[in-house]
């Protein structure tokens, strides 16, 4: 991830997650075998929307009322250590920061583990948590209380106003004045991890290509090859001091005929190498940056443009201003605004051309 997002504090939509915290930790995990389920056990706001949805004839799916009661009954059958284990699993899965950074002994809990513990519980929770994000959050009774995800998006992109997807740096992120918006990605996929489908620390707007062509359901914190835990960038990391170096080499010195296969992309970081390795794998970064370099309207254009700009200078200027100096100035200018017009790759591209003596 090229740069972190700034988290929007204090949006009313976060109430849904707070109700879910209350439900899981203070209702389900404390379910007493001797106390029959009663809707009065729920926190007031959750009780109100549960009843509003249940009695709304236009809503034909029982999103909350029945599932909440059935999960309570399953928890009534658990002993205290099992309830404690699930309470800790809930807290861990909602601690996206520590999971991404692999710190403070925070380990994730997955549906497959839950299935081994209780298949009925796993089946209830996978549809419950998915429906919170795909349906419940969009219901009018809920929006009347907590606002809309669109209003969160508008505030989000007003604060995060780079208008570039930080996961690739290539594509735009739609602004607040558009009639459509970019989708929120579940950074820790909702098919793998229970409990955090409406936790906005686990939701990050992403460009369509990153979301729908590359990341998909990939798990950034577990390697698909070894099943081992790995570190990943946390989208809302406040420690934004990391550096990523993009080093490009070309096996073909003729930029006009450069193809993707001629380009090697080496991504390094002095402090966040494991996060960079995860990022490039999950988002297909290498192939995308190779394509950018070999493209007629990017790499080949940058190469041609720098020659044209220099050649069009008045003869007298060129006496005191070498092409090498011009290239260094263009690179310097690109580095000052790295996320405009693909400048972060342009700078690396021109540096590599200069180093290879082909410009
Ligand atoms: Zn992107």
What are the pLDDT digits (tens) for 304-358? 999 999 999 999 999 999 999 999 999 999 999 999 999 999 999 999 999 999 9
CA of residue 163 to ligand 1 center, whole Å: 11
Interval between CA 134 and ligand 1 midpoint (Å): 22
Please check the confidence at residue 250 and state whether its pLDDT lies above 80: yes
Distance 157 CA to ligand 1 centre (A): 15
**Shared-domain flag, residues 178 and 250:** no
Residue 241 pLDDT grade (very low, low, confident, very high; cuts 50, 70, 90) = confident
Distance 1 CA to ligand 1 centre (A): 9
Q: How far is the CA of 11 from the centre of ligand 1 (A)?
A: 25
- Find, among 193, 167, 196, the residue nearest to 182 by Cα: 167
Q: Which of 193, 215, 237 is a domain's end point? A: 215
Cβ proximity of 107 and 92 under 8 Å: yes
In the structure, ligand 1 is a single-atom ion and the residues with CB under 5 Å from it are 165, 167-168, 171, 207, 210
Residue 359 pLDDT: 86
Domain stop point among 176, 200, 215: 215
Contact 261, 293 (CB under 8 A): no
Residue 107 scores a pLDDT above 80: yes
Domain assignment present for 229: no
Ligand 1 mean position, distance from CA 167 (Å): 5
Q: Which domain holds residue 28?
A: 12-215
- Compute, in angstroms, the gap from residue 284 CA to the centroid of ligand 1: 10
State the angle between helix axes of 299-311 and 285-294 in degrees (0 to 180), rounded to the nearest 10. Answer: 40
Residue-averaged pLDDT of the chain: 97
Looking at the fold, whether 278 and 183 belong to one and the same domain comes out as: no
Residue 239 confidence (pLDDT): 80
Residues 183 and 76 in one domain: yes
Which of 245, 251, 243, 344 minimizes the C-alpha distance to 298? Answer: 344
Element (H, E) at 267: strand 263-268
Please tell me the distance between residue 307's alpha carbon and the centre of ligand 1 in angstroms: 30
Judgement on whether residues 125 and 21 belong to the same structural domain of the protein: yes
| 208 and 313 co-located in one domain | no
Ligand 1 centroid – CA 166 distance (Å): 6
What is the whole-number distance in angstroms between the Cα of residue 156 and the centre of ligand 1? Answer: 16
Same domain, 153 and 266: no
Ligand 1: centre distance to CA 208 (Å): 7
| Within a domain: 7 | no
Q: What is the pLDDT of residue 279?
A: 98
CA dist 192 and 261 (Å) reads 35
In a domain, 5, yes or no: no
Is 240 within the bounds of a domain? no
**Tens digit of pLDDT for each residue in 260-315?**
999 999 999 999 999 999 999 999 999 999 999 999 999 999 999 999 999 999 99
- pLDDT of residue 103 exceeding 90: yes
CA of 177 to the centre of ligand 1 (A): 20
Is residue 240's pLDDT more than 70?
no
**Residue 187 sits in the same domain as residue 262:** no
The number of domains in the chain is 2
Residues 136 and 18 in one domain: yes
* One domain, residues 65 and 119: yes
The answer on 207 and 96 residing in a single domain is yes
- The answer to whether position 192 is within a domain reads yes
CA of 154 to the centre of ligand 1 (A): 18
Cα(337) to centroid(ligand 1), Å: 18
177/258 same-domain check: no
225 domain residue, yes or no: no
Q: Is residue 138 part of a domain?
A: yes
Tens digits of residue pLDDT in 60-75? 999 999 999 999 999 9
The answer on 132 and 249 residing in a single domain is: no
- Do residues 182 and 173 make contact, with C-beta atoms less than 8 angstroms apart? yes
pLDDT score, position 56? 95
Q: 34-43, 44-53, 235-244: which range is least confident on average?
A: 235-244
> Does residue 324 form part of some domain?
yes
> Taking Cα atoms as reference points, which of 153, 25, 149, 159 lies closest to residue 94?
25
| 168 CA from centroid of ligand 1 (Å) | 4
Among 198, 190, 79, CA closest to 142 = 198
């Amino acid at each position: 991830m090229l740069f972190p997002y700034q988290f929007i504090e204090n949006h009313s939509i976060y109430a849904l997650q707070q109700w879910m915290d209350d439900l899981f930790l203070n209702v389900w995990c404390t379910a007493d075998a001797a106390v029959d389920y009663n809707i009065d056990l729920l926190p007031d706001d959750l009780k109100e929307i549960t009843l509003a949805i249940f009695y709304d004839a236009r809503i034909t799916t029982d999103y909350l009322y029945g599932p909440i009661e059935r999960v309570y009954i399953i928890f009534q059958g658990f002993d205290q250590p099992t309830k404690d284990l699930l309470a800790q699993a809930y807290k861990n899965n909602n601690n996206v920061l520590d999971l991404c950074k692999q710190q403070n002994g925070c380990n994730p809990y997955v549906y497959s583990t839950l299935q081994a513990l209780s298949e009925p519980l796993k089946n209830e929770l996978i549809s419950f948590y998915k429906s919170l994000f795909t349906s419940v959050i969009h219901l009018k009774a809920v929006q009347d209380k907590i606002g809309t995800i669109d209003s969160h998006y508008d505030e989000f992109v007003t604060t995060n106003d780079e208008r570039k997807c930080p996961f690739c740096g290539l594509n735009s992120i739609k602004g607040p004045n558009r009639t459509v918006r970019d989708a929120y990605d579940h950074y820790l996929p909702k098919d793998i991890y229970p409990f955090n489908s409406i936790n906005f620390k686990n939701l990050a707007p992403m460009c369509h290509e990153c979301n729908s062509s590359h990341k998909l359901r990939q798990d950034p914190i577990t390697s698909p090859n070894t099943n081992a835990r790995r570190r990943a960038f946390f989208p809302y990391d406040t420690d934004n001091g990391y550096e990523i170096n993009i080093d490009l080499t070309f096996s073909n010195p003729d930029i006009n005929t450069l193809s993707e296969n001629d380009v090697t992309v080496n991504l390094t970081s002095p402090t966040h190498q494991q996060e960079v390795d995860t990022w490039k794998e999950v988002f297909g970064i290498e192939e995308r940056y190779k394509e950018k370099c070999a493209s007629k309207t990017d790499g080949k254009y940058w190469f041609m443009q720098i020659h044209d700009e220099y050649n069009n200078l008045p003869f007298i200027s060129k006496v005191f201003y070498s092409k090498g100096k011009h290239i260094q100035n263009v690179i310097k200018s690109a580095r000052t605004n790295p996320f405009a017009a693909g400048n972060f790759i342009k700078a690396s591209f021109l540096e590599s051309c200069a180093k290879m003596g082909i410009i």
